[in-house]
Structure 1
Amino acid sequence: MDVKSAFLNGFIEEEVYVRQPPGFESTKFPNRVYKLRKALYGLKQAPRAWYARLKSFLLKSGFVMGLVDKTLFLLSRGRDTMIVQIYVDDIIFGGSSQALVSSFAEQMSREFEMSLMGELQFFLGLQIKQGPEGTFVHQAKYTRDILKKFDMSDSKPMTTPMSTNTTLDADEDGEAVDQKEFQGMIGSLLYLTATRPDIQFAVSPRTSHRQAVKRIFKYLNFTPELGLWYSGSFLSLTGFSDADHAGCQIDRKSTSGTCQLLGTSLVSWSSRKQASVSLSTTEAEYIAAASCCSQLLWMKATLSDFGLRFGRIPLLVDSTSAISVAKNPVLHSRTKHIDVRFHFLRDHYEKGDIDLVHVVTQIQLADIFTKPLEFSAFVRLRGEIGVEGVDNALIKGEIESQWTSLIALLV
């Protein structure tokens, strides 16, 4: 549902005055100003005032606010549960009982002026298709729009977003480019990574050459319909962590790649350069694992709002040395120069929050976020993280990937 004129529903506590609008000046009091009773669009207080009004209404209606995500509200009625997620004036809601959902929609319509849009199909540029076996989230329309915007619709398609022999070093003598257009291309691609983790590594800030960016667009021209497939698989939380030591040719910093899955569905991922130069592959892998551990702990806390509880969360790393550093305190003497904030990985291992597990490189899903891959490896990993075409995804059903049984054994 969408709230009409949402900010006008908020009451402000501060005294705020505005000048008389042009064309609506008072002939009797031309030099006076108006005192606002409600929030107005453009005020800094408006979003906060609207959220306070909506939160107050939901809490009075019996909802409980999430402990981690303050825009999440949950309602329990016997065996039925209802979930409400707020994004400014857009509200996504659903529940296990149609009566509960209808009652909530009626309550909201009485309190606020609402537009009920029915089943979720389009949200913040994301297209959602729901089938009996799962949900497919994609940005096919957005992809076609940006290809047309940057005149890449008729470009030669590429099978991968980045060549394996690409070296992006300082190109001081290269051809000058239109900075505004280039930044627009990067910004457009960054938004697309919300449903296209297969281009996450290529789009990261390391991409400084226009030709490299154009190759990403050519890859999108080859695969415009790809998106993320979410199936109703078993609910377990798993993390994958990998690193490409000294991958950046300019400053020799390593690249951390991490991804987190709920069951067999990819729900979070990251590809970023590390803040400091690592002196060894072990150190780079250890820092990447610490980053993944941090994200897993945050997700564990967030999922507790939904009533999901997890024990030791498996964190799969393909470096036995990095695992040894985390498990064996004697080895810490060799890693004194590692920033102390990364050593919390070992603390949470000892507390039993995570379980560091070695995984062979061939099924290391985070590999796709750390380096360019050749076609067969790229396509294999792309499928493993759930990036599918719309037709293939909706008929995929309960087909499990190669590593599903591995995860089931770990949890």
Structure 2
Amino acid sequence: MEQPPCFIDSDFPHHVCRLKRALYGLKQAPRAWFQRLSTFLISLDFVCSKSDPSLFVYNKDNNLIYLLVYVDHVIVIGNNETLINTFTSCLNTEFKLKDLGPLSYFLGIEVLHSSAGFFLSQTKYAYDILARADHLDSKPVATPLSSTDYFSTPGTPFHDPTLYQSLVGALQYFTITRPDLSYAVNQASQFLHNPTTSHFQLVKRILRYVKGTLSYGLTFSSPTNTTLVGYSYADWARCIETRRSTYGYSVYLGGNLVSWSAKKQPTMSRSSCESEYRALANTAVEIVWLSNLLKELHALPATKPTLLCDNKSAFFLSQNPVAHKRAKHIDIDCHFIRELISDGGLQKKYVQTKLQVADTFTKSLPRPLFEHFRNLLRVEPPPIRLKGGNRG
């Protein structure tokens, strides 16, 4: 820690202070706090997850407690209310806590409970974004981007790059509960350093879509099964300037969307088969990670994970162990999907393009198709809960 301004020792101006206690606001404080908390939890027989270091799991005599940490915010979930109360009391003796009761609001995410499950949204957060951009009175649109909208480099530089960066950064966090915005926000994020006026106009369109779907969010219901299913898709050479492909995936657990992504591939693909094959490999990595996480949560489904793809060439390439000439240049790390399939750790199936949910993460779609996939992603308005009154 450097010597504070105006308190520098004239005899030893280049000496530093020795840190004896982590002070709030210092770079070392979060690490010191997490070390202190994790040491205490481990002493209570919690196990730190290898898949997610912020997750701690307690499992003893069929009693489960999940504890999720974000800096000094903690979520505690379990199947034994008495044990949870005992644990929180023990935690309160070690640290000064403020119990906020049942989970309803966490880091800008609103949680609405119902008999069927729960609903996640960021309505207040979205309202703040619109207020910051002065778009509370804007006219709503049906899709984030039209099928003809495209982010390109040429154009007049935007006069306020900080505003552009601030809005796009806020929208990135908003996609936590709004996967329908993933592709549009991903496109806008590629021009944070040199935004143009046309880029800002497209961001304003995204905000107009947010205005019309302000209360939308993710619906999670009690699953009838716990099958892990992943959809993988890539749009070959989508970027006109770099000719790199855009790929996306969506992973469902028991019919509930739990993971998704929309990204541009870092390398150029020579064929649609190659771009789809690379997308399959990335989706398989996510499925393997989720499987490991579910195993640590003691909730791993008995059935094998399923990977769905609509490209028959990539489907064949992932199953055929023979090296083809057109696949020689593909990175070795992409071929591990063959081992997963041959070892029985992953099963792969063909899906029709019209049912390929991940398509919405690779391009701008017409309104009917966009709304169809949005429903499949389970992005919906909040559930209506009516309370009847007493009649006199």
After TM superposition, is the score higher than 0.5?
Answer: yes
1:38 corresponding residue in structure 2: 21
- Verify the 8 A CA contact 2:168 2:188 in the aligned structure 1: no
Kindly indicate whether residue 79 of structure 2 is the aligned counterpart of residue 88 of structure 1: no
The reply to whether residue 183 of structure 1 matches residue 174 of structure 2 is no
Q: Give me the whole-angstrom Cα distance separating, in 2, the residues matched to 1:44 and 1:387.
A: 38
Deviation at 1:335, TM superposition (A): 1.6
AA of the residue aligned to 2:93 = R
Among 320, 333, 339, the alignment partner of 2:312 is: 320
What is the number of equivalent residue pairs in this alignment? 369
What's the CA shift for 1:136?
0.6
Q: How far apart are the structure 2 equivalents of 1:90 and 1:262?
A: 26
Given that 2:227 and 2:304 are in contact with CA atoms closer than 8 Å, whether structure 1 keeps it comes out as no
Instruction: Report the Cα distance in structure 2 between the residues aligned to 1:44 and 1:377, rounded to whole angstroms.
Output: 47
| 3-state SS, counterpart of residue 324 of structure 2 | helix
Among 120, 125, 150, which residue is 1:142 paired with?
125
For residue 36 of structure 1, report the CA deviation from its aligned partner. 5.2
TM superposition shift of 1:145 = 1.0
The alignment partner of 1:271 has SS state of: strand
Structure-1 residue corresponding to 2:148? 165
Partner of 1:404: none
1:267 is matched with: 258
Which digits, 9 at most, give the CA deviation of each residue in 1:313-339, with x for residues without a partner?
110001111010111133622221222
Note the alpha carbon deviations across 1:235-283, whole angstroms, 9 max, x for none: 2211110011111121111101111111111111110111111111111
Unaligned runs of 5+ in 1: 1-15, 23-32, 396-411
CA root-mean-square deviation:
2.3
User: Matched residues in 2 for 1:205 and 1:379: separation?
Assistant: 20
Distance 1:276 1:34, change over 3 A: closer
Please identify, of 264-273 and 54-63, the stretch whose mean Cα deviation from structure 2 is larger: 54-63
2:186 corresponds to which residue?
204
Alpha-carbon distance, 1:343 to partner: 1.4
- Kindly indicate whether residue 68 of structure 2 is the aligned counterpart of residue 76 of structure 1: no
* TM-score, normalisation: structure 2: 0.88
After TM superposition, give the deviation of residue 95 of structure 1 in Å: 1.2
Work out which of the residue numbers 41, 45, 52 in structure 2 matches 1:58: 41
The residue that corresponds to 2:195 in the other structure is none
- Counterparts in 2 of 1:134 and 1:35: CA distance versus 1, 3 Å: same
The residue that corresponds to 1:222 in the other structure is 212
Paired amino acid for 1:196:
R
Separation in 1 of the partners of 2:53 and 2:29? 17
Distance 2:284 2:267 in 1: 19
Distance 2:323 2:20 in 1: 64
SS of aligned partner of 1:269:
strand
- Per-residue CA distance 1:331-381 (angstroms, 9 max, x = gap): 622221222221122122112221111000111110110111111111111
2:247 counterpart of 1:256: yes
Percent identity of paired positions between Structure 1 and Structure 2: 37
Q: Give the 3-state SS of the residue equivalent to 2:285 in structure 1.
A: helix
| CA–CA separation in structure 2 for the residues paired with 1:190 and 1:19 | 36
Provide TM-score, normalisation by structure 1.
Answer: 0.84
Residue 291 in 1 paired to residue 282 in 2?
A: yes
Deviations 1:93-118 (A, max 9, x none): 02111111110111111111111110
The residue aligned with 2:109 is 126
Letter in 1 for 2:201: Q
Compare 310-319 and 42-51 and name the one that shifted more: 42-51
Cα distance in 2, alignment partners of residues 19 and 218 from structure 1: 47
Q: Is the 8 A contact 1:196 1:387 kept in 2?
A: yes
* Letter of the structure 2 residue corresponding to residue 223 of structure 1: T
Name the CA shift for 1:79/1:201 in 2 (closer, same or farther; >3 Å).
same
CA contact (8 A) 2:151 2:187 kept: no
Distance 1:390 1:253 in 2: 37
Q: Does the C-alpha gap of structure 1 residues 290 and 206 become closer, same or farther in structure 2, counting only changes over 3 Å?
A: farther
